[in-house]
Structure 1
């Protein structure tokens, strides 16, 4: 199933404002070689909101061409339903095996407007869709009831939730509560990397991961430990990364992971779409030290 296991979300590296295609392909091949379960391009880590339709179409094409046997999920979020439909068509024509849709807005959306978006888009698809619940960027909060309504639509196959309580018992209750609103075939995936291990241990079928998009082996070890029932080991591996999670929380996972990519020379510098920038020299040095101490490469 495409929406289960570890889904790695890579950067879309830029150079002088254009897509750095060579470096992007290297990132995709890195994930394919590691054996992640799926690759999610053009998510928030992929800077989808800053790219034109033609750039996003090219990223979808490069991803599918470079991923080998690993299924590719392509983000299709945009301000207008018309644009979402066009992006969905581009992704499907490129060979994407799934799409990811957040209710992007400038005007705050109502529940009915969000339902209408998913109803329109899901009926136009030939591939499964993951609902992207990310209130930090969309400023829209899904209720469990709305998730349940959307999950009944054709082609809806997963929900990417923004995190779970850090207490495993509370997290388990939360996942059971949401699952009770969903059809059996719709999976729940946790995001927010600090919550990945706890979410998997609490019953999420997938982890939609930022760190996996750059350092897949670390995330794979956590995922595989949880899947094997080694829940304590999964938490220990995650807790070891606490210094990284703290930086994610303070500066945003995109800035931190992009800076890490620059430090490890996996992308050129600068690699983000302006006005967004990577971390300044003081924090960069701190991050570099953390990566070295954790032996992350």
Structure 2
């Protein structure tokens, strides 16, 4: 499977206060991504608030996305859950609905060890037959994948990619090299953490799993095109232009910022799932000023 390259755009999942997905608003968000011709869509990622949605609502969101994309854009779907059997059912749902691959995080309450995470992936891959991307997101799961564990899981049948948090520029080349040495040839090594992702791409990363692209896909596609053109100067220039947005992500979290931006731009009226609160008015004004000054829409 070779689709895990370029920009994978991760939109929010608009929903009511009681967790019912707003399918019309989701279609609007997906339409923006399709118009920008993103390389893939990451549905129900952390930005998509997957842990806050029921199995039924997650399935409904996938069905909407599959219908919206019409099979033209690969769809990566979050299938993480506390229990392995629940993750299996979510992955089976995603496959049945037409998702291209699943994004599996080792969600936990009791901290997990490497053997437990390996068995979790083995069970979901075997039972669902859905291609899987390893989701390394220690900020939410409190579990960090070492290169050895990524390598071990990467040799499971059906595991095709890793989504790894990009470290600072000075460490990204070493981190990428360690992952490349651990995984099979052709295995996709991609990166999240928007503010560090450009250097990861320039170092040779395959994919950028992007929160910003879920709302502002055009400029993210421009950055990736510059990388593809081997124009590091242009890629860094465009990334530097987005520095005020990255600062907002640092200050308030990317999730809260993109919810506020979607509302301010009149794209959709969703609010984050409780107990997460919308940004207070002073922060909203800061977001509004930033997106206006950057010319983002």
Normalising to structure 1: TM-score of the pair?
A: 0.97
Report the equivalent of 1:85: 88
Report the equivalent of 1:31: 33
- Aligned pairs, how many? 294
Q: CA offsets, 1:50-81, max 9 Å, x none?
A: 00000001011111100131111110000000
Q: 1:55 aligns with which of 54, 57, 61?
A: 57
The secondary structure found in structure 1 opposite 2:149 is helix
Report the equivalent of 1:275: 275
Q: CA offsets, 1:101-123, max 9 Å, x none?
A: 00000100011100100111112
- Unpaired runs of 5+ in structure 1? none
Q: 1:195, CA displacement in angstroms?
A: 1.1
- Unpaired runs of 5+ in structure 2? none
Between the aligned partners of 1:141 and 1:171, the Cα distance in structure 2 is 16
Between the aligned partners of 1:32 and 1:15, the Cα distance in structure 2 is 24
CA contact (8 A) 2:21 2:60 kept: no
Q: 1:173, CA displacement in angstroms?
A: 2.3
Between the aligned partners of 2:82 and 2:209, the Cα distance in structure 1 is 23
Between the aligned partners of 1:60 and 1:166, the Cα distance in structure 2 is 35
What is the correspondence of 1:69-84 to structure 2 with a 5 Å cutoff?
69-84=72-87
The secondary structure found in structure 2 opposite 1:267 is coil
CA contact (8 A) 1:258 1:271 kept: yes
What is the correspondence of 1:221-240 to structure 2 with a 5 Å cutoff?
221-240=222-241
Report the equivalent of 2:43: 41
Report the equivalent of 1:142: 145
Between the aligned partners of 1:67 and 1:258, the Cα distance in structure 2 is 22
Q: CA offsets, 1:207-234, max 9 Å, x none?
A: 0000101110011011111111011211
What is the correspondence of 1:95-134 to structure 2 with a 5 Å cutoff?
95-134=98-137
CA contact (8 A) 1:164 1:198 kept: no
Between the aligned partners of 2:213 and 2:257, the Cα distance in structure 1 is 13
Q: 1:126, CA displacement in angstroms?
A: 3.1
What is the correspondence of 1:192-211 to structure 2 with a 5 Å cutoff?
192-211=193-212
Report the equivalent of 2:292: 292
Report the equivalent of 2:184: 183
The secondary structure found in structure 1 opposite 2:128 is coil
Between the aligned partners of 1:277 and 1:239, the Cα distance in structure 2 is 29
Q: Identify the range of structure 1 (93-102 vs 121-130) with the bigger mean alpha-carbon deviation.
A: 121-130
Between the aligned partners of 1:205 and 1:127, the Cα distance in structure 2 is 21
The secondary structure found in structure 2 opposite 1:147 is helix
Note if 1:152 corresponds to 2:138.
no
The secondary structure found in structure 2 opposite 1:164 is coil
CA contact (8 A) 1:125 1:155 kept: no
Q: 1:21 aligns with which of 9, 20, 23?
A: 23
Q: 1:164, CA displacement in angstroms?
A: 2.3
RMSD: 1.1
Between the aligned partners of 1:126 and 1:37, the Cα distance in structure 2 is 23
Normalising to structure 2: TM-score of the pair?
A: 0.97
